[in-house]
Amino acid sequence: MLHIRVISPAPVTDAVVGCLREATGVTNLVVLAGVARSPEGDLVEFDVAREAANGVIESLRGLGIESSGSIAVEKIDIAISEAADRAREEAPGEGDDAVVWEELAARVADDSRMTWAFVVFLAIATQLAAIGVLLNSPILIVGAMVLGPEFGPIAAVCFGLMQREYGLIGAAVRNLVIGFAAAIAVTLACALVARGLGWIEPAMIAEGNTEEVNFIVKPDRWSFIVALLAGIAGVLSITAGKSSSLVGVFISVTTVPAAGYAAVAVALGEWAEVGQAALQLGVNILGMVIAGTLTLLAQRLLWGKYGERVGPRPRSDR
C-alpha cells in the first residue's frame, strides 16, 4: 500500500474527493478542510494499493493538483485493516509487480545528479577492484562490484530513452563519464605511487598471474549476455522495490572491476590490457542500457493494458 497526501485548493476538493471515492484500490480517505497553509487549501489523505496508484495519480494530475497544490507519496510498510485488504484485492495484478512511474521518475532523477558521494563510492570501489587485480583476489573484486553505485545513472539512461527525456539522458551520461574518469584517475595516481615505491610491478598482471580475475578483461558473447540479464534484473528490482535483488545485479557485471583493471594496466604500461578492460566496460554498460530500456518499455506496455481497470470506476463502499 501507498499513502498519498494531497493539498487541494478548496474549489477543487469536491472533484478530488469524488474521483477518489470512485477509484479502484483507494481506502482510508480523510479530508481536513482549510488546514493547509502553504500552499493554502484542504488536506486530503488516503491509502491506495500500489498496483492502482498510477491511475489515481494521473487522475489527480488531470485536476491540476500538481500546479495549484501538491501530491506527496510514501510507502506503507504495514497496514492492518480489512478495508486495506479489500482495496488490494480489488486492484488488478500484484503490488510487487506494479510500476509506479512517478516514483521511478523521482528515483532516476536523483540518480542522474552528480554528487560527491557517488564519485567517492565509485572511486573507492575502483581502487578495491584494482587491489583485487593485483592480489588476484576474486573476493575483493566481488566487494568492489557490490560497492559500485553505477547502476543508478544507467537506469536513468534507460528511463530517459523510454520517455525521450534527452536532458535526463545527458545528465546521467555525464554522471557516468565524470564518475568513472575521476575514479580511474584516482586509482591510476595511487597505482603510480605504489609502482614508484616498488610495491607493484608489471609481472603482477602478467599472463598466468591473474587467472582468478581474468574474467574482467575477457569480453565475449557471455559478457554481453550477462550484461543483458543484469540490466533486466536491475530494472525489475528498482521498479518492483526489490532492493535485495539489486545486490545480485551489482555482483553480475564487471564495470567497476574493468575500470580498476584499466587504471592498473596504464600505471604498469600494459596497454593491450587497457584496451581489453575498456572494451569490457563498454560491453557491460551497453548491454545493461539495451536490456533495461526494453524492460521498461515492456512494463509500460503490459501495465497499459490494465489502465482502464486501474482508473476510476464504481466500486463497493469501504
| Same-domain status, 283 and 159 | yes
| pTM of the entire predicted model | 0.82
Beta carbons within 8 Å of 94's beta carbon, 6+ residues apart: 51
pLDDT given at position 215: 76
* Residue whose cell numbers read 506496455: 301
Give the three-class secondary structure for 84: helix
Residue after which a domain boundary falls, among 36, 67, 98 = 98
For the chain, report the end-to-end CA distance as a whole number of angstroms. 16
| Same-domain status, 91 and 115 | no
Note whether 215 and 254 are within 8 A (CB): yes
| Same-domain status, 145 and 285 | yes
Residue after which a domain boundary falls, among 98, 117, 132 = 98
Give the three-class secondary structure for 278: helix
∠ CA 95-101-107 to the nearest 5 degrees? 105
Whether residue 312 lies inside any domain: the answer is: no
| Same-domain status, 223 and 288 | yes
Q: Which three cell numbers stand for residue 157?
A: 539512461
| Same-domain status, 9 and 94 | yes
* Residue whose cell numbers read 486492484: 91
| Same-domain status, 268 and 198 | yes
Split into its structural domains, the chain has a count of 2
Distance separating alpha carbons of residues 116 and 114, to the nearest angstrom: 7
Q: Domain residues for 135?
A: 104-303
Say whether pLDDT at 213 is over 80. no
| Same-domain status, 117 and 33 | no
pLDDT digits (tens, 9 = 90+) for 235-244: 888 887 555 5
Whether residue 311 lies inside any domain: the answer is: no
pLDDT given at position 304: 66
Residue after which a domain boundary falls, among 42, 68, 98 = 98
Beta carbons within 8 Å of 70's beta carbon, 6+ residues apart: 5, 6, 7, 39
Distance separating alpha carbons of residues 199 and 265, to the nearest angstrom: 15
Say whether pLDDT at 312 is over 50. no
Distance separating alpha carbons of residues 114 and 117, to the nearest angstrom: 9
Of residues 287, 184, 183, 303, the one with CA closest to residue 231? 287
What are the C-alpha distances in Å from 137 to residues 140, 212, 214, 252? 6, 7, 11, 16
- Model confidence band, residue 311 (pLDDT cutoffs 50, 70, 90): very low
CATH assignment of the domain containing 39 = 3.30.70.120
pLDDT given at position 250: 65
Residue predicted with more confidence, 153 or 91: 153
pLDDT digits (tens, 9 = 90+) for 106-122: 889 988 888 999 999 99
